[in-house]
């Protein structure tokens, strides 16, 4: 796992108090439903933490949310593309 992905995994694990080590988060596993098993409330909490930490706004009405939150890797890619924007 590359460093930005590990940092993001750490943010998610800490934000949601998950009982998993950030290093054990599969970057390709689904975040919602399977994989980490996050629900819509978890996703909202993660989006808020990302906004505070990275300054990247993730809107609940974004039509690309399914793609953005498909996996840790997809979410990290989205953040990295928009972090300087």
Q: What CATH number corresponds to the domain at position 53?
A: 1.10.1200.10
Q: Give the residue among 23, 25, 74 at the shortest CA–CA distance from 50.
A: 74
Enclosing domain of residue 33: 3-82
What band does 78 get if pLDDT is binned at 50, 70 and 90?
very high
Is the Cβ–Cβ distance between 15 and 9 less than 8 Å? no
Q: Give the residue among 39, 32, 15, 35 at the shortest CA–CA distance from 24.
A: 35
pLDDT for residue 1 is more than 80: no
> Please, what's the largest Cα pairwise distance for the chain?
33
Record the tokens describing residue 48, joined without a space. 């808020």
Number of domains in the chain: 1
Secondary structure of residue 3 in the 3-state scheme? helix
Q: Which tens digit of pLDDT belongs to each residue from 14-67?
A: 999 999 999 999 999 999 877 888 998 999 999 999 999 999 999 888 899 999
What band does 84 get if pLDDT is binned at 50, 70 and 90?
low
Tell me if the pTM is above 0.75.
yes
Q: Residue 73, CB half-sphere, CA atoms under 13 Å: how many?
A: 8
């Amino acid at each position: 796992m590359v460093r930005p992905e590990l940092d993001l995994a750490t943010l998610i694990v800490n934000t949601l108090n998950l009982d998993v080590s950030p290093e054990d988060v599969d970057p390709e596993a689904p975040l919602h439903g399977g994989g980490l098993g996050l629900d819509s409330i978890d996703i909202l909490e993660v989006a808020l933490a990302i906004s505070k930490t990275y300054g990247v706004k993730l809107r609940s009405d974004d039509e690309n949310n399914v793609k953005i939150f498909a996996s840790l890797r997809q979410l990290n890619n989205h953040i990295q593309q928009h972090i300087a924007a």
